[in-house]
Chain A
Amino acid sequence: MIGRTFPRGGGEIPHRKEATENKSIVVFGAPPEVVIPLKQHIGACCEPAVAVGDHVKMGQPIGEARQFVCTPVHASVSGEVIAVEERPLPDGGKSPAVVIKNDGNDQLYKEYKPRDYEEMSPEEIRRAVKEAGIVGMGGAGFPTHIKLDPPTVIDTVLINGAECEPYLTCDHRLMLERAPEMVEGLLAMIKASGAETGIICIEANKLDAVEVVRQAISGHDNLSVEVLQVRYPQGAEKQLIKAVLNREVPSGCLPCETCCIVQNVHTAIAVSEALKGKPSFERVVTVSGGAVLDPRNVLVRIGTPIEDLFNFCGGLIGEPAAIVAGGPMTGPPVAELGGPVIKCSSGFLALRENEVGFDQNRPCLRCSRCVEVCPMGLTPNLLGELSSKGYYRKAEQLGLLDCIECGLCSYTCPSKRSLVTWIKDGKAGLAKEKAS
């Protein structure tokens, strides 16, 4: 086995990346209508900055960030605002959204003008990032400008190119096709956060990307590439830091406690774009799964309905057994095919019966496999049991809140118990109990 990895738990899961990993990214122009939610990130919702009937240009801010943990959103097409209202999010939630009717002109709000990060102060870089509305594009959606201004001293910025979720290949393709941009973004983030070094972490099943990135960083002594063992969940922040830096993020703390920050590949590219004034209004999404006729990575505008995206990839073969936003291990189900692509959507999967598995909740054999694979060193069988019975406090004592919801316990369980679902419910239940 090549490369480092994290020491506890983890396991091998199928990759299923063949369908898309060798296909170049294709551009999906713009749909006739986009729905841009005002909350696409962790934190507070934006205030709408436009009203029905307004004409907006591509890249124009349409939601303003008034709170600290918040980030603006931008129009992804030019056209007329036809509605500002509650719209469904892909995961079944709801958010106020701005609906824009595309005029097809793609009129830019502001011309892009390249700027060299070396001439900018950390302050300026962070402002540019904030104004571009950049959030973690790996799936978490945490506002990037906040991450770049942590309360602790930072020495290292890690770029997470592990992409350990099955099916997903957008980061892989981006590294192959846009490595120089990623490196520029990384360098800008190193400067913005006051760090010294940057490490690009790539799982050993993407050696072609390792090659390309190595070339892209030549000449930068403070940058390096770390090849990591293929092991799930290698891409989880805490496991990545442990594997690469051998630092253990304390329970209940953010990674900055260990003097480093982790950024996604796509986020780094978005930062480099932000430097020249391009806001975050489009992204690359993996569209895959056995029920998709022509799986591929698509550069798509934020706000594009998921249905359109699938249709762009040849449409669905029959009724899929599950449609998932993000990777199959951690991603939520897509409740609404009409829901939009948002900034942290890394992929959309339409899966057929023969490639999925579901909860069966047969009796626990106490086989200890879930304990063995849990990368957080928890006892998922007990957490699940306690959570499902409403003993949230007890579960908390056993580390309920440490669970990173990687899904590996449920994956491994021979009884197919809904361990992760119970644990998620348990977390929600605990929060409610604490609030009251």
Chain B
Amino acid sequence: MLKTGPYLRSSLTIEQVMVDVLIALIPALIAGVIFFGRQALWIVFLSTLTAILTGAVLLRAPFNLRGILGDGSAAVTGLLLGLILPSTAAWWVPVVGSFLAISLIKLAFGGLGYNIFNPALGARAILLLAFTSQLVKFAVPFDTITAATPLLSSRTFSWPLLWGNVGGSIGETSVIAILLGGFYLLYKGHINWRIPIGYVGSAFVLALLWGLDPWFTITTGGLLFAAVFMATDMVTSPVTFGGQLVFGVGCGILTIFIRQYTSFPEGVTFAVLIMNALAPLIESVTIPIPFGVGLARETRLKGIAAAGAALLVAVGALVWIDNTQPALTPILSHGQHLPIADWLGTSDFESLDFEGSRFYVTWNEEEKPAKAVYLAEQGGFNGPIRFLLVLDQEQNITDLRILDHREDPGLGELITKPEFLDQFVGKNKHNELALGEDIEAVSGATISSRSFTTGVKRALENFELAFFPQEEILEWADGTYFGSADSFGGKLEVEVSVSEGVIASVLVTGHSDTPGISDGAFEKIPERIVALGASKVDAVSGATVSSEAIMKAVQNALEKAGTPLSEGVMAYSIPPDGTYRGQGTGFGGELSLEAVVKEGRLAEIVIVESSETPAIADGALDQLLPAIIEAQGPVDAVSGATKTSGAVLEALDDALVKEEGQ
């Protein structure tokens, strides 16, 4: 059999291509090891080794070095996968990932050249869905603590993003290293400019249109790495030039949409995989026009015109969507426009900061908030949940949304869905917001649901504190009082001084709580109590027990000042000195009494007239009257003499309130 021509062949081989790709990945690997340490190298080593071995075993390669390494494509897949994993992943993550990449995504489809999906990305997608928490925590460079990617914690470009000195997957953070590899591949002719430029360019433009920081957009979340190494994967991208451009642009657009509308902050994995699936279709509609077919130039001009028109339509549609559906406002971007004015019904609103929270409010005639938007925060499962509440005049929740969270993609993130959030609409501070009764938790995400519900409840309480500080002003007799309560480390003692009826100072005089941890509470809580004039204030996060103890101790002290301070029980507002008469209806008939006010205090209560049964009433009154004087306000009825007690309280009310009215 004669060998057919051509008789000259380029020296390029599959092995050469693969070796060049491996070389191009070295800068990214080095950057990863510099920033994330030896753990990064370990992950990459495991993924590469597993990929090579899986390929060799499944292909029954001959047992020698050449045979095991094969054409090198398995090594490329393994290295790529390693570089898109976080360095904090457990050892089995790269192993399982590489095994799946080679066996399921590559060989099951027919091996090199026949796989539809990029094996490394396919594997990451599976890992992302199956072992979310292993993939969403990233090491902070040069450190052992973990954090989310900068995508979640920042919104704007900064120089460390260029070097890669930020949290992220091992090989995805360093722009410089990725570009180095990219230029090498371009120089070697293994990739061309169409896919990377299409990808990065479209993402840039879209980010610009969307009001995001375009430089930040293209330098984070593995976008550049995907544009240079993943989307350009030969096997899974179109071979036609037009197709490559469309493919790249499609990846860019999808990435941004996924970032904006879903809880997958990086977006590139699914963007590229979706485009992989579309590649054959794209290819079939972008078959080049052969030489000599049609008037090439005219066709090309028409093509350009059509592409331009399509782009305009797309941009127009986007702007339209953006304008008509504010409800679709991206979850993950509190750096951007929130329709505050729409919620408040006017752009004439005021912004206030109180206790570290921000409020946007409009006022009614009573100088109380007519409508308000409250940006609040609550600790969630993985980190803070930032959310906002829109409240009406009665402090009913009319709208709410989660701005930012780090709950697990898949389950925890379901708390951002309207099915869950809508349950809060119409609720207000009087509602218990009990999980399971008022609010159905998202199944499988109870912790996230509970955290968020608690957050809403606290936010409502804080709002109350901020704008309606204890409608009835509490007053105590001037003086200095001592109180105590049980805390973390034992007894905690406070000294409370009251002057002109209000709390003037709170001093923690003794405690055995751990220094450091509780310091915040000792600093803040007394301040807050003085500022609010009430013993019940916001606890300091991280020092809740100490905070609560201080509040209890202050309450204990104030009880000695004569006014019980339990919720829902009001003290009398004491009129000027003098004697006041009042009436109430008792068991036997009218009861009238005189209340004597001396030095701003209710000093004595004298029953003037009574038709109560003396045997019952006398005993009761002996208990009741001193208690009222002690409390400077209503107290619980004496058991067995409820009617009589009620009559006394009614008469007292009558006496004091009537006088106040005059």
Interface membership of chain A positions 407-426, coded 1 if the CB is closer than 8 angstroms to chain B and 0 otherwise: 11011111110101100000
Tell me the residues in window 459-500 of chain B with beta carbons closer than 8 Å to chain A beta carbons. none
Q: B112's contact among A250, A363, A420, by CB below 8 Å, is which?
A: A363
- Cβ of B26 under 8 Å from chain A: no
> Is A402 located at the chain interface by the 8 A CB criterion?
yes
Nearest residue (CB) in A for B236 is A366
Q: Cβ of B13 < 8 Å from any Cβ of A?
A: yes
**Interchain CA distance A238-B288 in the complex, whole Å:** 18
Residues of B within 8 Å of A418, CB to CB, are 4
Chain A nearest CB from B14 CB (Å) reads 5
Q: Considering residues A329, A364, A379, A418, which has the most beta carbons from chain B within 10 angstroms of its beta carbon? A: A379
- By a CB distance below 8 angstroms, the chain A residues around B293 are 250-251, 399, 402
Contact B240 A365 (CB under 8 A): no
Q: Would you give the shortest CB distance from B502 to chain A, in whole angstroms?
A: 79
B292 proximity list for chain A (CB < 8 A): 238, 248-253, 376, 402
Known: A369-B189, A372-B192. A251 touches B290 (CB 8 A): yes
Closest chain-A Cβ to B74's Cβ sits at a distance in Å of 14
One of A18-26, A44-52, A276-284, A354-362 at the interface:
A354-362
Among A78-86, A197-205, A260-268, A331-339, the one that faces the other chain is A331-339
A365 partner, pick from B10, B17, B291, beta carbons under 8 A: B17
Indicate whether A318 reaches chain B with its CB closer than 8 angstroms. no
Task: Determine if A43 is an interface residue (Cβ-Cβ < 8 Å).
Answer: no
Closest beta carbon of chain B to A179's beta carbon, Å:
29
B291 and A377 within 8 A (CB): yes
A351→B8 CA distance, assembly (Å): 10
* Contact in complex: A330, B5 (CB < 8 Å): yes
B14 touches A371 (CB 8 A): no
Assess the A368–B244 pair: CB atoms within 8 A: yes
What size tier do the contact residues of chain A reach? Answer: 35 or more
Determine the chain A residues whose CB is within 8 A of the CB of B616 once the complex forms: none
Cβ of A335 and Cβ of B2 under 8 Å apart?
A: yes
Contact call A333/B4, Cβ cutoff below 8 A: yes
For residue B3, CB closer than 8 A to chain A, the reply is yes
When distances are taken between beta carbons in the complex, the residues of chain B under 8 Å from A375 are 291
Residue B66 lies at the interface, judged by CB distance under 8 Å to chain A: no
A144 at the interface (CB under 8 A from B): no
Least distance between A401 CB and chain B CB atoms (Å): 9
Chain A CB count within 10 A is highest, among B111, B234, B240, for: B234
Contacts of A216 in B (CB 8 A): none
| Chain A facing B: main interface SS | loop
Chain A neighbourhood of B287, CB < 8 A: 379, 382, 398
A378 within 8 A of B: yes
Q: Give every chain A residue within 8 A of B112 (Cβ-Cβ).
A: 363, 365
User: CB of A102 within 8 A of chain B?
Assistant: no
| Chain A neighbourhood of B290, CB < 8 A | 251, 376-378, 399, 402
CB-nearest residue of chain A relative to B13? A414
Give complex CA distance A116, B23 in Å.
Answer: 67
> Does any Cβ of B come within 8 Å of A32's Cβ?
no
User: On chain B, which size bracket covers the interface?
Assistant: 35 or more
A371 to B113, CA, bound (A): 16
Let me know if A328 and B12 touch, CB within 8 A: no
Residues A356 and B2 in contact in the complex (CB < 8 Å), given A364-B113, A414-B16: no
Q: Does A104 contact B (CB under 8 A)?
A: no
CA distance A251 to B290 in the complex (A): 8
B8 & A411 in contact (Cβ 8 Å cutoff): yes
Of B5, B241, B296, most buried by chain A (CB within 10 Å of CB) is B5
Closest Cβ–Cβ distance, residue A195 to chain B (whole Å): 21
B114: interface (CB < 8 Å): yes
What 0/1 pattern do residues 286 to 305 of B give for CB contact below 8 A with A?
Answer: 01111111001000000000
Does A146 belong to the interface (CB within 8 Å)?
A: no
Is B255's beta carbon under 8 Å from chain A? no
Point out the residues of chain B lying under 8 angstroms from A356, CB to CB.
Answer: 7-9
Closest chain A residue to B16, Cβ basis: A414
Interface string of B277-289 (1 = CB under 8 A from A): 0000000000111
Write the nearest CB–CB distance from B565 to chain A, whole angstroms: 77
| Contacting residues, chain A, for B239 (C-beta < 8 A) | 366-368, 371, 379, 381-382
Q: A287 an interface residue at 8 Å Cβ cutoff?
A: no
Within 8 A of A (CB), among B82-127: 111-114
Let me know if A407 and B2 touch, CB within 8 A: no
- CB–CB A358/B3 < 8 A: yes
A-side contacts of B111, CB under 8 Å: 363
Asked whether A330 and B6 contact (CB < 8 A) given A251-B291, A371-B240, A402-B292, the answer is yes
Q: A251-B293, A367-B234, A369-B189 are in contact. Are A377 and B288 (CB under 8 A)?
A: yes
Residue ranges of A at the interface with B (Cβ–Cβ < 8 Å): 8, 13-14, 92, 166, 238, 242, 248-253, 322, 324, 328-333, 335, 349, 351, 355-359, 362-369, 371-372, 375-379, 381-382, 398-399, 402, 407-408, 410-416, 418, 420-421
Write 10 A-B pairs (CB below 8 A) sorted by A numbering: A251-B291, A332-B5, A357-B9, A358-B7, A362-B14, A363-B113, A366-B234, A378-B290, A407-B5, A412-B12
10 tightest CB-CB pairs across the interface, nearest first? A357-B9, A407-B6, A363-B113, A368-B239, A399-B290, A328-B7, A251-B292, A367-B234, A333-B2, A376-B291
Residues in B lying within 8 Å of A, measured CB to CB: 2-10, 12-14, 16-17, 71, 111-114, 189-190, 192, 234-241, 244, 287-293, 296
